[in-house]
Amino acid sequence: MGSRAQRKVSPATELLKRLGVHLDPELLVLSLTHRSFAHEAGGIPTNERLEFLGDAVLGLVSAEALYRRHPDRPEGDLAKMRAASVSQRALAAVARELDLGQFILLGKGESGTRGFDKDSILSDTVESLIGAVYLSHGLEVARDFVHRLIDETLSTAAGLGAGLDWKTSLQEAAAELGAGSPEYSSEASGPDHARHFISQVTIDSEVLGTGEGSAKKHAEQVAAQQAYETLIAREPRPAERQHA
C-alpha cells in the first residue's frame, strides 16, 4: 500500500482528469488565471485572450451542431438556440458540474466575494479552457471537448421556448398584449477588472424587471426574463383569450 503522499493527486492532474484532455501545465495555469489574480500579481498575463479564442470555437462548434441537428429550423431559431446553449448561465452550470471554481486563480478581493461561484467568472473560464484545448490539439479535439461540455444543453435548446432569448420574447409578448415597447437602462460600477451592471426594463413607464451581471447584455437578459414573467402573469396572451 502506497503512502498518503504517493496517493495524493495534484489539483492540475485532478482537473485534467475531469476535463478528459491533456494540456501543457503552463497553458493550463494561464487558462485559469483570472484578471483579479493577475492584477494582484503585478500584471501577469490573464486568461482573457484564451477566453476570446474559446468563445469563437464554442460559437462555431455549437452553430455547426445545431445546423446539422435541425435542418428544418430557420436561421432566427438556430441563433436563439445557440445563444441559449452557450449563455453565461449555461456555461456556469457546466463549470459547477466540474467543480471548476476551486481551480480558478483569483485575487484576494475576488475570492472574498465568492468569485469562484460567480456565473461570469465560471463561464469565462470554461471558454478559456476551450481556447487552450484548441491551441494544444486543434479543431477536431476541441470539437469533441465542446460536445462533452454542452451536448446536453444543445439537445434541450429546441424546447426552451421563451427562454431562448428573453429580450426577444419580451418584445413579442408586449406587442401581442398591446403594451409599449420595452426600454432598457443600465448602470455600471466597480473597477475595470470587476465591472458590475444593474439593468432595468420599463414598459409604459413601469419598471417590470431588474437584473444584474458582469456584462450589460447578461443583466438585460435577466431583467427581460423577470419582466416577461410579470407581463404574462398579469394577462393571458391573445391566443389564450380566444379559448377562454
- The total of other beta-carbon atoms located within 10 Å of residue 130's CB is 26
Among candidates 215, 190, 216, which has minimal Cα distance to 36?
190
Q: Is 127 a catalytic residue?
A: yes
Catalytic residue among 119, 127, 165, 220: 127
CA distance 135 to 178: 51
Cα(first)–Cα(last) distance of the chain, in Å?
72
Q: Which H/E stretch holds residue 3?
A: none
Give the DSSP letter of residue 82: H
To the question of whether residue 127 is assigned a binding role by annotation, the answer is yes
- Give all strands of the β-sheet with 196-203 in edge-to-edge order: 183-189, 196-203, 206-213
To the question of whether residue 119 is assigned a binding role by annotation, the answer is no
To the question of whether residue 124 is assigned a binding role by annotation, the answer is yes
Residue 120, sorted as left (phi over 0), alpha (psi -120 to 50) or beta, turns out to be alpha
Catalytic residue among 26, 40, 48, 55: 55
CA distance 113 to 157: 32
CA distance 124 to 54: 9
Which cell numbers hold the place of 50? 484564451
| Angle (deg, nearest 10), helices 75-85 and 48-69 | 140
Q: Which residue has the cell 434541450?
A: 156
Q: Is 117 a catalytic residue?
A: no
At residue 210, φ and ψ (nearest 5 deg) are: -135, 135
Residues with active-site annotation = 55, 127
Per the annotation, binding residues are 51, 124, 127
Per the annotation, binding residues for Mg(2+) are 51, 124, 127
